[in-house]
Amino acid sequence: MLRCTPTYWPGLTPYPAALEALERAAATVAHGAPEQLILAEHPALLTCGSSAQRADTGTGHTLPIYTSNRGGQVTFHGPGQRLIYPVVKLDDRWQHDIRRYMRWLQESVQRACLHLGTPTTLKTGAELGLWVGERKLAAFGVRVRKGVAFHGASLNVFNDLDIYNHFTPCGLVNSQAARLCDSVPAITMAAVDDALVAALC
């Protein structure tokens, strides 16, 4: 469990500003400040993680493309998608092991989705994420610096899925995306946030 209370970034946070804020948060946590759980939304954009292939950003769209210092490949962020940014010490809770932390993070988001009425399958390796059948619901990517893990996960809630037809998400050719609203039509972001906080904090 995280040792923090959540912070909600209002509105749509520009991605460069989010990167700067995450870097600052990681530096302060490394120096002993309290851990953070940041919940955010971004304008529509693509981000390229450390393993991204530029060709995977695709064609047929005009979205801005940003380089991110998280792990992973090409990912979409946009309105209606919840970004989950824990900034935490990679300590004895996870035996200082990023793989154990990633598993915990995935399982925590999975519990939140189940609470909301959407069972998921947790996959690792090239298909890392949470899946509803053959459709991907949540993507994960983190970075570790000075013993602090930051970045985290993106969870599709009621965002437009058309963009996924125009790039290669997470390096998975022909993969499809899912949203919570597909199985829970009346879902709200407030309900999602409550479930995430209960699962993570």
pLDDT (tens digit, 9 = 90+) per residue, 108-156? Answer: 999 999 999 999 999 988 788 999 999 999 999 999 999 999 999 999 9
Q: Count other Cβ atoms within 10 Å, centred on residue 29.
A: 22
The distance of Cα 199 from the centroid of its chain, to the nearest Å, equals: 15
Residue ranges of the domains in the chain? Answer: 6-200
* Residues identified as active-site: 170
CATH superfamily of 6-200: Bira Bifunctional Protein; Domain 2 (3.30.930.10)
More confident call, 1 vs 135: 135
Work out the average pLDDT over 55-68: 90
> What region does 72 belong to: left with phi over 0, alpha with psi -120 to 50, or beta?
left
- The answer, yes or no, to whether residue 171 has pLDDT greater than 80, is no
Distances (CA, A) of 110 to 122, 139, 148: 8, 11, 23
The span from the CA of 79 to the CA of 91, in Å, is 33
Q: What is the pTM of this model?
A: 0.95
